[in-house]
Amino acid sequence: MPTYQLYYWPVLQGRGEYVRVLFEDAGIDYVDVAREPTSEGGGVPGLLAVLNDGVGGVVPYAPPFVVVDGELVWQTANVLQFVARREGLLPDDAYVQARLHQLQLTVADVVSEVHDTHHPISSGLYYEDQKEEALRATQQFIDERIPKFFRHFELNLAQNDAGPGFVGDAMTYVDLSVWQTLEGLTAAFPKAVAKLLPDHPKLAALRIAVNERPRLAAYVASERRLPFNEDGIFRPYPELDLSVTP
């Protein structure tokens, strides 16, 4: 089978990590293009070339995107669904597929709101230019939004008696994405997650189950798994590590 080419920024996890996690867990061959040598068409110049010019008449708005069989697919949730379907990792039932996709779109909502905690005024401004507003936005996110997202995922997990994930007894890309989100939230807001997650046992059990998956565990332990950092989405700013308001 042709190897997937993944295009994402080389120094951070960001949204591209959701795609990497699926590739790694499923053992799917891929090339992380921007981490390849510039002399071989990689690096940021290689990413920008496709970002600006597209492939086969398709021009993406932003990374991550993948190219396979000469075709380009972008938007994180769309990429994940496309890869899962192409690799036989989706149930055949169209309604189940739709349920998984809508859960993935909810993950995208979480990611967007996390980004806004440290960029509440504008993504065009540095964090240092909006620190006071970021503190207020983060407290609101921790008090109101994380509990709502956790409750939503917990209720959906409770509908499945066959396994620790959202659908059936096999892990899906959505299970992996919720795990990645939990890891990110823990990196950015460890006090809040430590307080809230014990009240959501299904979500906590999903996290444990994904942690035990051999391929993914090997990836997490490797140098290829970049740490969460202050250039990504889940930024571990100590001053934003707030507790839930009593």
| Alpha carbon distance 126, 78 (integer Å) | 29
pLDDT per residue as tens digits for the range 213-239: 999 999 999 999 999 999 999 999 999
Where in the sequence of the chain do the CATH 3.40.30.10 domains occur? 4-86
- The overall average pLDDT reported for the chain is 97
For residue 63, the model assigns a pLDDT of 98
Residue 221: how many other CB atoms lie within 10 Å: 9
pLDDT per residue as tens digits for the range 51-68: 999 999 999 999 999 999
| Alpha carbon distance 180, 203 (integer Å) | 12
Task: Say yes or no to pLDDT of 26 above 70.
Answer: yes
Q: End-to-end alpha-carbon separation of the chain, Å?
A: 54
pLDDT per residue as tens digits for the range 133-190: 999 999 999 999 999 999 999 999 999 999 999 999 999 999 999 999 999 999 999 9
Task: Say yes or no to pLDDT of 44 above 80.
Answer: yes
pLDDT per residue as tens digits for the range 95-129: 999 999 999 999 999 999 999 999 999 999 999 99
Distances (CA, A) of 203 to 22, 37, 116, 157, 164: 19, 39, 24, 7, 9
CATH 1.20.1050.10 for domain 94-240, yes or no, is yes
Three-state SS string across 70-124, please?
CEEEECHHHHHHHHHHHCCCCCCCHHHHHHHHHHHHHHHHHHHHHHHHHCCCCCC
Burial of 178 from C-beta contacts in 10 A (0-12 / 13-18 / 19+): buried
What architecture (CATH level 2) is domain 4-86? 3-Layer(aba) Sandwich (3.40)
Where in the sequence of the chain do the CATH 1.20.1050.10 domains occur? 94-240
Comparing 39 with 2, which gets the higher pLDDT? 39
- Under a CB-based contact definition with an 8 Å cutoff, are residues 90 and 81 in contact? yes
What's the alpha-carbon Rg for the chain, to the nearest Å? Answer: 18
Paired sense of beta strands 30-32 and 4-7, if any: parallel
Sign, CA dihedral 97-103-105-107, equals negative
Q: Which amino acid is at 159?
A: Q
